[in-house]
Amino acid sequence: MSELDDGVVAHLSMIQGVVNRLETNSFTLKALAMTLASAVLAFLGAVKNPNAVFTAAGSLPVIVFWLMDED
């Protein structure tokens, strides 16, 4: 099979498109999680008596995406 069939090439192209969309969505969600965590932790730095629940809520998205990235 020296040459690929047009159907095989189209199928592989479709799969590559799906992988690219998943990669883009994953990067966008990770950036959003980092922004959210930074905002919450910055807010906690400005508060006199920070609550531990807010610290956990700000750190949770970062930890979840960190665990998801481990291979």
pLDDT tens for each residue of 20-44: 999 998 888 888 888 888 888 888 8
Domain-embedded: residue 1: no
Residue 57 is part of which domain span?
A: 6-69
pTM: 0.64
Count up the domains in the chain and report the number: 1
CA distance 28 to 65: 12
CA distance 11 to 4: 11
Name, in order, each residue with C-beta under 8 angstroms of 43's C-beta and a sequence gap of 6 or more. 54
Domain-embedded: residue 61: yes
Strand, helix or coil at 18?
helix
Residue 2 pLDDT level (bands cut at 50, 70, 90): low
